[in-house]
Structure 1
Amino acid sequence: MTRLTALLVLLLAALPAGAEDVVLGLSRDQVSISTDFDGSEILIFGAVKREVPIAEPPLQVIVTVEGPDQRLTVRRKERRFGIWVNADAVEVDAAPSFYAIATSAPWEEVITHTEDLRHGISIPRVTRSVGAPMTVLDSQNFTRAVIRINENSGTYALNEDTVTLREQTLFDTSISMPANLTEGAYPTRIFLTREGKVVSSYSTEIEVRKVGLERWLFTMSREQPLIYGLMSLAIAIAAGWGASAAFRLVRGN
């Protein structure tokens, strides 16, 4: 029996009775951001606890990991009189700083549109714009632009067929988290679906925190912005002087 299987057996034994419920485990529930942090990978594993025989059609699994929300103002540029200027602007009220979805099958097979609306699972469902000016008739295009930019940068991802589901009972997947993580709580959700309908769900959190020098600099920038600004200026001046001195030295040789 592998270590992962043994953990799942213990989790199953501890879960209260139910028709079909999720038992979840995480390889780690906290990510520390230090000066040499270049990303992380979280292993998410679990099992289905059931008190009835396995039913048909088969279950599917959806796993989501969401970073802290951020408010963004998206501007559209237009060319006027030969120069590019800011034209319309729309405020995106809720845009996760990170959002990853992993599924056990193609998206269309794991959940219906109605269930997605109800539970807010897909990327468009967790990214919303509000307060668009009356002059902006295509505000949803601004939201789609935010999604497209984040998908291109890798901070938003839909990873289909990446959840391994064994014997309709054990499942696991891994979520890659980039280096530019925002500090805070990362809600993690697991959905069991059958015929596109959610039959069970489970929620937990992964904590992302700065440590060491990163933590010290972050705290100073918030609590002592004047000192932080002066220190940044001094470092910039010293770096410029050092580069100039090195250039003169190399040129003299």
Structure 2
Amino acid sequence: MERRWHIGAGQKGLAGWSFALFVAALVALWPATGMAERLVSKLSVQEISINSSFSGGSITLFGNVENAVGSNEVVEGPFDIIVVIQGMATDKVVREKSRQAGVWLNAEQVTFSGVPSFYHVLSTRPIDKIIDAQLRAELGISLSAQIRSDDAPSGAVRQKFTAQLIRLMEQDNMYGINPHGVAFHSDSFYSANLALPSDVPNGSFLATTYLFRGGELVDDNAERFVVRTVGVERFIANSARDYPLVYGIACVLLAIFTGWLGGVAFRR
């Protein structure tokens, strides 16, 4: 059978608390030794506008590794950077189609709730060479960690449909991993560039940058940017979303008028 896929705390005594507060005060006043660096990052743009001529774009994230406030230690690498750019959560329905009697029909479907509409990971080198699996799971830096489904009948089915969801989203350039998408231009200055497809979804995007050294997380920083449709396209999109009935009637009337106008023109 030929198949296709489609997406749509305990109590302490007073003495115990006093000792704990004393130790906490010493730790707070002691010079920082394990946090000598901090991450400073910036996005090239805060808003990307989409109009009828938009054929795709790009966004650049750049930054620097600096001394932490109050630290006199020298910034020492080598460092690794992982950048995660994530769009707003949405629901996706993955349908498996089977061919029966020469006709493609829906055979099975699974709904995924709250998955990222856009998810790209860029890094200085392959992620498994930067951090171990445990830290990666704690930070949630993976496509599969972002995808959940509550209606899959079994683990095997869930795994199969998850793989197809990732494949289809990667095919549309909505998901992706680039193990060489971040480059250091000096010992501390880096940049990352991501190409955005022409059909990039509207909404707020979160770009999170993680700084690592020796497999340990040193610091992280987050920046937001917005993708927004502008002009007539925005008016049409908002009308279709907010007034679907009126929008549908207007489309039908426009089609009738266009057909009538074409008929008049050809008769002449």
Which TM-score band (shorter chain)? Answer: 0.7 to 0.9
Q: CA deviation at 1:149?
A: 0.8
Where do 5+ consecutive residues of structure 2 fail to align?
Answer: 1-34
Change in Cα spacing, 1:126 to 1:245, as seen in structure 2 (3 Å) is farther
One-letter amino acid of the structure 2 residue matched with residue 33 of structure 1: I
The answer to which of 119-128 and 146-155 deviates more is: 119-128
2: CA distance, partners of 1:66 / 1:88? 28
Residue-pair matches, total? 230
TM-score normalised over the length of structure 2: 0.77
Aligned match of 1:3: none
**Aligned alpha-carbon RMSD (Å):** 2.3
Q: Please, which of 141, 145, 151 is the counterpart of residue 131 of structure 1?
A: 151
1: CA distance, partners of 2:242 / 2:170? 33
Change in Cα spacing, 1:245 to 1:106, as seen in structure 2 (3 Å) is farther
One-letter amino acid of the structure 1 residue matched with residue 59 of structure 2: I
2: CA distance, partners of 1:197 / 1:235? 60
Q: CA deviation at 1:222?
A: 2.5
Aligned match of 2:243: 224
CA contact (8 A) 1:109 1:195 kept: no
Larger Rg: 2
Q: CA deviation at 1:183?
A: 1.6
Aligned match of 2:205: 186
Where do 5+ consecutive residues of structure 1 fail to align?
Answer: 1-17
Aligned match of 2:229: 210
Give the 5 Å matches for 1:1-253.
19-50=36-67, 51=71, 52-55=73-76, 58-79=78-99, 84-134=104-154, 137-241=156-260, 248=266
Q: CA deviation at 1:107?
A: 2.6
Runs (4+) off by over 6 Å: none
One-letter amino acid of the structure 2 residue matched with residue 53 of structure 1: V
Change in Cα spacing, 1:60 to 1:237, as seen in structure 2 (3 Å) is same
TM-score normalised over the length of structure 1: 0.81
1: CA distance, partners of 2:172 / 2:262? 32
Q: CA deviation at 1:198?
A: 2.2
2: CA distance, partners of 1:69 / 1:46? 27
